[in-house]
Amino acid sequence: MPVSFKRCRPCWGQAEPVSVKAEQPFKRVAILGLGLIGGSIAAAMKARDLAVVIVAFDLAPAELAQGLALALIDEAADSANAAVQGADLVILAVPVLAIEPLLVQISRDVSESAVITDVGSVKSPIIDAARRQLPNLLSRIVPGHPIAGSEQHGVQAANADLFLRHKVILTPLPETHGSNLAKLTAFWQALDADVVEMSPTHHDAVLAQTSHLPHLLAYALIDTLSMQGDSLEIFDYAAGGLRDFSRIAASDPVMWRDIYQANSGPVLEILDRYMKELMELRELIANGQSEELTAVLTRAKLARDHFSVLLSQRSQTTNSQEIP
């Protein structure tokens, strides 16, 4: 049974002053998995004074205890089944490969009127799992992915502003009812996220290139350097470039293992293209082809500069739209 607690003064700070863009459409939210993302969703709701009850379940009792102590959640459930009972929004915030077993577990207790979503970095396998395990609730399923995170993990890293002005990608099924999509859109907008829609396959291909590959490269680089005989000296004299690039290698290994297994096709496709590019660069260096090497580096720099300008313009546009 859920365990209630007496609210204490929040310890996770306050969000930036913002106006709620839509009336909160949910009264009781169940968060399954109280890590960085699940905890940050709870923190964002609490910081914005959204009138909901938040119940959470996590396999680690310490995470739930900390969630209660930080006043991030109102109730801690002793099982996923208990957590979803009576909830009108269920958020699956667990590693990708843990989602299908979780769907099996809650299938008999989740309300037929609940909206069900997730925060996974891969969408197609999750949708396939939902079709297998919740075939009668497909109209209420709205897969989602907040493009926000940190190399830190666990509820102690919860951040009430983690989603502020960050994109949340929703990948509705053909069966998803429009009203449920609208409710979840309003939910994320109330947390001050920018909501966009995308097909599941396109999402998985885009994220393989923009997120999954960079994380894999960071892990590989740190693993390579750490096995050098002089690895301590290498890290001792590491410049900002190595620190910046390798920061994401501190992310949760289990989460990323699941992502690579679940999204192997798109990841392998972009990885093969990248390895081909690396081999071409190796040949240019080995053969002393300085002009060709300069051309590649210049092309990449121009592309990065153009990307930076676009991001700056987008940020300025967003900020100007928020000025009353």
**Residue 136: CB partners within 8 Å, gap ≥ 6?**
112
pLDDT digit string (tens) for 251-307?
Answer: 889 889 999 999 999 999 999 999 999 999 999 999 999 999 999 999 999 999 998
**Residue 221: CB partners within 8 Å, gap ≥ 6?**
245, 246, 249
Instruction: Please list the ranges in the chain whose pLDDT falls under 50.
Output: 1-22, 319-324
How much helix, strand and coil, in percent to the nearest 5, is found in the chain? 55, 10, 35
**Co-location of 42 and 96 in the same domain:** yes
> What is the pLDDT, as a whole number, of residue 246?
80
> What is the pLDDT, as a whole number, of residue 315?
64
Q: Is-contact 54 75, C-beta < 8 A?
A: yes
Task: Supply the CATH number for residue 223's domain.
Answer: 1.10.3660.10
Residue 56, beta-bridge partner list: 31, 76
- Within a 10 A sphere around the Cβ of 289, how many other Cβ atoms? 13
Last residue of a domain, one of 180, 198, 216: 198
> What is the pLDDT, as a whole number, of residue 308?
87
**Co-location of 253 and 116 in the same domain:** no
Q: Is residue 77 domain-resident? A: yes
Q: Is residue 87 domain-resident? A: yes
Q: Report how far apart, in Å, the C-alpha atoms of 78 and of each of 75, 101, 303 are.
A: 10, 17, 51
Last residue of a domain, one of 198, 216, 248: 198
154: left (phi over 0), alpha (psi -120 to 50) or beta: left
Task: Supply the CATH number for residue 165's domain.
Answer: 3.40.50.720
**Co-location of 126 and 263 in the same domain:** no
Q: Is residue 299 domain-resident? A: no
**Co-location of 9 and 29 in the same domain:** yes
Q: Structural domain of residue 233, as residue ranges?
A: 203-288
**Co-location of 161 and 273 in the same domain:** no
| 146: nearest Cα among 127, 172, 170 | 170
What is the value of pTM for the model shown? 0.84
Domains identified in the chain, total number: 2
Alpha carbon 81 to its chain centroid, in Å, reads 24
> What is the pLDDT, as a whole number, of residue 159?
95
Distance in angstroms (rounded) separating the CA atoms of residues 285 and 126: 43
